[in-house]
Amino acid sequence: MEAVERHIISLDWITLTLMGAFLLLAIVRTYYPHRFNDFRSLLTSNKFMMFRGKKNKAFHPFNILLFCIHIISISLLLFLFFNLFWSEPEIEPGIIFIRIATACGSFILLKFGLEKIVGNVFDLDEVVDSYLYQKLSYRNFTALILLIPSLIFIYTYTPTPSALYTLLGLVVLTNVFSLLLIYRKNQNLISGNWFYFILYLCALEIAPYIILYKLITI
């Protein structure tokens, strides 16, 4: 009988990465229990935005820790896509994940900084800070939920292209839904500034993702 070579990809680095994410989540839950309880009901209650978002402290330790989990969660999903559709046998999977996480974090922070600059230029700091706080909160919440399918795809069920595309579609729909919630809460402000709102939507919410998609596909 001829021996068949079997390739096994080590999941040690993924396990450590996920342990790091859950450790950060445990820290958040331990040190900010009341804020976390309000955060958990983000989609069903406006309590978190009303009471925790009054000062719009995007750089509160609570948000920073959740943002780190956000980067890990999104980067794992992107890594699954990369691992399924592309192959780099000469590069360690852990190195690929680090590159994806670095690019993902840099993109989000660059976009965040650009929006802050635009708000400062047009003297809309308070409005933009409130918007960014709400958007960051919703996306941190989505990233927490994404950890569940990532665990399933990594340890239980080998993802198929259709499964990953379905998950990606759900993520996009969730983000669109969260933006609609934010716009609905600020509809009085938007209704009086339609032109600037559409300009902002095209320049800072749609164009960056189109450019990123072009860069990735090229």
Q: Mind listing the pLDDT tens digit for each residue in 115-158?
A: 888 878 877 788 888 888 888 888 999 999 999 998 888 888 88
More confident residue, 6 or 191: 191
Degrees to nearest 5, angle at CA 173 with 172 and 179: 90
In tens, the pLDDT along 152-175 reads 888 888 888 888 889 988 888 988
CB under 8 Å to 94, separation ≥6 — which residues? Answer: 13
Q: How far apart are the first and last CA of the chain?
A: 45
* Alpha carbons 65 and 98: distance in angstroms, whole number: 18
Q: Is pLDDT above 90 for 28?
A: yes
Least confident of 2-11, 16-25, 81-90, 172-181: 2-11
In this prediction, residue 54 carries a pLDDT of 55
CA 135 vs CA 53, 58, 129, 215: distances in Å: 11, 10, 10, 24
Task: Give me the pLDDT at residue 218, please.
Answer: 62
Greatest mean pLDDT among 12-16, 72-76, 201-205:
72-76
More confident residue, 173 or 86: 173
Q: 96 exposed, middle or buried (CB, 10 Å; 0-12, 13-18, 19+)?
A: middle
H-assigned helices in 49-191 = 61-85, 93-121, 125-155, 161-185, 187-191
Q: Does pLDDT of 102 surpass 90?
A: yes
d(CA 110, CA 118): 12
DSSP string for residues in 51-87:
IISSS--TTSHHHHHHHHHHHHHHHHHHHHHHHHH--
Does residue 201 register a pLDDT over 60?
yes
d(CA 64, CA 27): 12
The model's pTM: 0.85
Which of 179, 215, 169, 171 lies closest to 200, judged by CA? 179
Mean pLDDT (the chain) is 82
Express as a percent the part of the chain with pLDDT over 90.
23
